[in-house]
Structure 1
Amino acid sequence: MIFHGTDVRHQAVAQLRAGAKNADVARALGVPLGTVSYWRHMDRAKRGECPGAHNPKCPRCDGRELDAAAYSYLLALYLGDGHIIQHSAHRAPSLMIACGDTWPGLMDECEAAMRAVFPDNSVCRVRRTGCHNMKVYSKHLRCMFPQHGEGKKHERPIILEPWQQQIVDEYPWEFIRGLIHSDGCRITNWTTRMVAGERKRYEYPRYFFTNKSDDIRKLCSDTMTKVGVEWTVLARGSDPFNISVARKASVALMDQHIGPKY
């Protein structure tokens, strides 16, 4: 990790207070955009310009109202491409969800969900090679994502708590959408058939969800079953890591609620 000196931080804050944009300050000083965004947030918090910045409320601890639909989507993104980390330089842990640059719409939806679930906390985008990490700091991340733990998700149990399952049951399509947006895709398959003695090519759409965690795949398949989507397991070799949706009616249902990444 690269640490930036106090002088650099003071220069950045001075430029931000003068009206400079985060991206311009980051380029001028050679500092990551996420770092500049964090410095700006902390400076605003010290001056009391961030509502709730000193003590953001938590739906679990304080009974704050929760945007359940946004949470169902964000929970699925976390299970697929997210992780929670604690740096010694920050008092609060951060949730980071990796979003590929190929799908800018996914980045926008992820950011919107983060802001809806954590309205009193700062959300930023951290540029990485080929992707951006969507990032939010909160002392209550472990309250909202109790699946957090040491090690990789597929090497430990992933079980939703009753209040989480209730949200997923209420907003199943948001949950499925988040899973497909993280570890899934919509592709066009093709096959050939003999018709009147002539071999013809046929194309058809198909959805895949791929994850090494048995528990996360089960959460996906159970939720699909509840909304009427027929699915099968497609193994690569001996590894049953893929959930496939190929039946025409089920693909049409998925298209109605999810569609391709964008």
Structure 2
Amino acid sequence: MHAAGVPFSEICRRLRLSRNTIACWLYKRRTAASKTDTRYPRCDHPRRKIDDARSYAYLLGQYLGDGHLLTTQRVPLLTVTCDVRHPGLIHEISHAMEACGARTVGYQERVGCMCVRAHWKHWPCLIPQHGPGVKHRRKIQLTDWQQEVVHGEPERFLRGLFHSDGSRFTNRVLRNGKHYAYPRYTFVNESTDIMLLCRSSLDQLGIAWRMARSNTLSVARREAVARLDRFIGPKW
């Protein structure tokens, strides 16, 4: 149809396919992009792009939990999914994206959640852990400069992790006929690599933890919970 002179929009209408699909077939844009990868520049020194290490450490923790980086578009898109019951987290993630370099932040509401989204050409440089498939089925390893940021801001990194895949709740138990209630934190993630990063930051701060299950980390000691309350606390 294209060779016969049929207009582009008419081809889409007849085939009932998206304009993007037709364009990829006709002009092989997707194949060219995957081979040359010239849609955005790669940073030789990504660390220099970070003006706010505290915001980056928090955003990295959020990405490792509930984030996704889409690089198949013209400009990469970073998305972090939040529960609509916690508007404070939505605001904090938005601020972190802007502080890291994104000019504008958008929102996409879905059933029970809000997706915080930002286009920026340097996201692949700042988040090299992105890749196809779910995170727990691929290797998650921080680069040297990311390790420096996380080591310098362990509290902010843990705040991002616990705000995404963690929770603070009151544990209630019955012991010897008496009821006891005490707060505790849990962090749940299927990736052993991400769990190791969480444990390393807790160890750096001297916060006691234990593994309740292979995918669940628990912080239950009174002094340890008090430490986390200083920089994490309940989701808001």
Q: TM-score range by the shorter chain?
A: 0.7 to 0.9
Q: Summarize deviations over 1:165-197 as a string: whole Å, max 9, x none.
A: 100010000000000000000010011222xxx
1:57 is displaced (CA, Å) by 11
Moved over 4 A (4+): 55-59
Equivalent residue for 1:138?
120
| Aligned partners of 1:60 and 1:144 also within 8 Å | no
1:230 alignment partner, SS class: coil
CA 1:64–1:107 in 2, change beyond 3 Å: closer, same or farther?
Answer: same
1:107-146 equivalences in 2 (<5 Å): 107-119=90-102, 121-146=103-128
Q: Distance in 2 between matches of 1:127 and 1:77?
A: 18
1:1-262 equivalences in 2 (<5 Å): 60=45, 63-87=48-72, 90-119=73-102, 121-194=103-176, 199-235=177-213, 240-262=214-236
Q: Distance in 2 between matches of 1:234 and 1:246?
A: 11
CA 1:70–1:220 in 2, change beyond 3 Å: closer, same or farther?
Answer: same
CA 1:56–1:254 in 2, change beyond 3 Å: closer, same or farther?
Answer: same
Q: Summarize deviations over 1:100-129 as a string: whole Å, max 9, x none.
A: 10101000100010110015x221111111
Q: Relative contact order (alpha carbons < 8 A, sep ≥ 6): 1 or 2 greater? A: 2
| Aligned partners of 1:57 and 1:64 also within 8 Å | no
Q: Distance in 2 between matches of 1:65 and 1:141?
A: 11
| Aligned partners of 2:82 and 2:113 also within 8 Å | yes
2:215 alignment partner, SS class: strand
Q: Distance in 1 between matches of 2:220 and 2:50?
A: 38
1:228 is displaced (CA, Å) by 1.1
CA 1:62–1:176 in 2, change beyond 3 Å: closer, same or farther?
Answer: closer
| Aligned partners of 2:207 and 2:224 also within 8 Å | yes
* % same residue: 43
Aligned length: 198
Q: Distance in 1 between matches of 2:96 and 2:41?
A: 17
1:138 is displaced (CA, Å) by 1.2
Normalising to structure 2: TM-score of the pair?
0.79
Q: Distance in 1 between matches of 2:47 and 2:216?
A: 39
